[in-house]
Structure formats: C-alpha cells, structure tokens
Amino acid sequence: MSKRTNIQFKTPDGLTLRGWLYLPEEDAVRRPAISMSHGFAAVKEHGLARFAEAFADAGFVVMVHDHRNFGASDGLPRQDIDPSVQINDWRCAISWLETLPEVDADRIGLWGSSYSGGHAIVLGATDRRLKCVVSQVPTISGYEQGRRRVSPDAMRAFDRLMMDDLRAQHRGEPPRMQAVVSANPSELAAYRAQDSVDFYMQPLPDGAWSNAVTLRSTFAARMYEPGIWVERISPTPLLMVIATHDGLTMTDLELQAYERALQPKRLKLIPGGHFDPYGASFGEASLAATEWFLEHLGH
C-alpha cells in the first residue's frame, strides 16, 4: 500500500503550490515518478486520487498538485485560469519532484486529463525531462470546442459579456465571475451538460472546491490550442486515452490530433463520454496509463 502525504513547493514568483505525494512501500530504491494535475476549474479531489493510487501501487512515486488560484494552492484572484501560467507552474512541480531522494530524476512521466491533458501535450513537446506522457480526453482546440458547444446567438451575447469584462478590468474592477457548472440556463456558467454538472458537483471535502471561475478564464480557454504541439512530442512516447463519445473536448478532434502525432505513440479508446475515465471506464483508463508508464519508466 502507498502512503500519501501533503506537500508544497514554491514557484519562481514566490507562490506556494500544494498537493499530495504518494510513496510506495518504503525501500532504498530510487523510483520512477509521475506528475499529475487536474482539469479546468477543478481541484485534485476531482477523481485524481484513484489514478494516483493505482500508479503508486504499481511502484511509482506520484505527485499531484492543485494549480495556482485553486484548491489548496495559493494565488489571486481565486478561481482564475491562465493556461500558460499553469504550464509554467507544472514545470516547477517537475523540478521539485526531481529533487526528492526517493525519485530517479531520469525517469519522470506526466499524466494530464481534459484541460491538463492539453497541458500534457504542450509539456511533452517542450520539456525533455519527461520520459513519457499520458494525455487523457485532452483539450485540443479551445476555439473549436467553444464554437461547437455554444450556439451562434449565445456566442455573440457571450462575446459582449467578455468584452465588457475586459473594459471593467481596465477601469480597475475585479474580474467578473461565472459558475463552473449550472443546468439553469439563466445562470452564467462554463458548462451546462448534465455529465459536467454531475462530475463537478460530486461530494468533496468541505472547502475543497468552489463552483466559480472567472469569465476571463473562458476567454483564455477559447484561445488555447494545445493540439498544435502534438507533432512535436516525438521522440517522447505519447499515450492518448480518448472516450468514444466525448462531447466536451470532442472525440474527432482528439483522434485527428492522435493521427498527427509521430511515433512512439499509442491510442486507447474507452467507451463513454468525457468523464467516464473517472467512473465507468476507470479500470480501462488507469490500466492503459499504468502499462504505459511501466513500459517507458520501468519499475
């Protein structure tokens, strides 16, 4: 059985990020390690523990961190997302992980899902410390995802809201907020589909998560195009775990990205929608990732 402890580390701008560290049964061996983080406006408690436990039980040191402005990590404004900042912070997490005496710094892998699955693509292409990458149901094109999920009439109104928010920030006002999920059409929200509501609103420890995200986070997400990096990941081995009916990050966009990726690569198709890797298809998704890490990082 693995042991989980709370950890923290600093970013170059002095911010403290926090998370969990999973250590396999104690021995004198320096082990390969895996770095993980959560998706858009989520926290590490949103289903990451099961994956981390599975990887740790297979013999890996596993680090899971909350992105800045979310969960246990510091940062202001709260509930605010800049994908480039999250990626740079994740590089800091990898640097911290390298320093641990339990870790073989030459054998570090990365696991990301949904928004952080997009980050995993970017990091896989730009950080050669990583020896392999798992990108699960990843964001490929923020523009295309937004275009498909939102009707043209609603998009025009939303664009006006975002421009008004930019003007308000220029006047010194705080960023406008929206719900992360809501099934109420009269409430401003990032996601409305029932599977999104069910995932984000799952029971979590008190204070772990807030159903709020800045409006400008959606503005940034619509400009985020991690798919352009997929051809550049090689020669780092890439596993993509894709759901057959993903209506959030779009199965066809993910499959097209996989086709553009160069070898070495592997595709794992799992049944269901975007959130099924955390639930009904967890066994298949976690086993595929574990086998990939074992193959490219060793025991």
Q: What angle do CA 25, 31, 32 make, to 5 degrees?
A: 125
DSSP conformational letter for 2: -
H-only helix segments in 58-133 = 83-98, 115-126
Question: What pLDDT score does 156 carry?
Answer: 86
By the 8 A CB rule, do 238 and 112 touch? no
- Measuring CA to CA, which residue among 74, 244, 219, 228 is closest to residue 159? 219
pLDDT in tens, the chain (299 residues): 789 999 999 999 999 999 999 999 877 789 999 999 999 999 999 999 999 999 999 999 999 999 999 999 999 999 999 999 999 999 999 999 999 999 999 999 999 999 999 999 999 999 999 999 999 999 999 999 989 888 788 788 888 999 999 999 999 999 999 999 999 989 999 999 999 999 999 999 999 999 999 999 999 999 999 999 999 999 999 999 999 999 999 999 999 999 999 999 999 999 999 999 999 999 999 999 999 999 999 86
What is the C-alpha separation between 286 and 47, in angstroms, rounded? 12
The pTM of the full predicted model, rounded to 2 decimals, is: 0.97
Question: What pLDDT score does 149 carry?
Answer: 83
- Measuring CA to CA, which residue among 226, 40, 217, 239 is closest to residue 119? 226
Q: What is the CATH number of domain 3-149+222-297?
A: 3.40.50.1820
By the 8 A CB rule, do 100 and 60 touch? no
Q: Which helix (H) or strand (E) holds 163?
A: helix 152-170
By the 8 A CB rule, do 140 and 252 touch? no
By the 8 A CB rule, do 188 and 179 touch? yes
- Measuring CA to CA, which residue among 23, 19, 41 is closest to residue 32? 23
Question: What pLDDT score does 107 carry?
Answer: 98
Q: What's the CA dihedral at 76, 77, 81, 85 to 10 degrees?
A: -30
Question: What pLDDT score does 172 carry?
Answer: 96
DSSP conformational letter for 174: P
Half-sphere exposure of residue 274: CA atoms within 13 angstroms, side-chain side: 27
What is the b/e burial string over 238-262, where b = at least 16 CB atoms within 10 angstroms of the residue's CB? bbbbbbeebebbbbebbbebbeebe
Give φ, ψ of 53 to 5 degrees: -65, -40
DSSP E strand boundaries for 59-160: 61-65, 103-113, 130-136
User: Which residue ranges make up each domain of the chain?
Assistant: 3-149+222-297
Question: What pLDDT score does 193 carry?
Answer: 94
What is the C-alpha separation between 297 and 290, in angstroms, rounded? 10
Query: Over the stretch 55-84, which tens digit does the pLDDT of each residue have?
Result: 999 999 999 999 999 999 999 999 999 999
Torsion sign, CA atoms 36, 57, 20, 249: positive
Q: Which residues contact 1 (CB under 8 A, 6 or more apart)?
A: 25, 57
* Percent of the chain scoring above 90 in pLDDT: 92
By the 8 A CB rule, do 179 and 192 touch? no
What does the block give as tokens for 48?
């990451």
What is the C-alpha separation between 162 and 160, in angstroms, rounded? 5
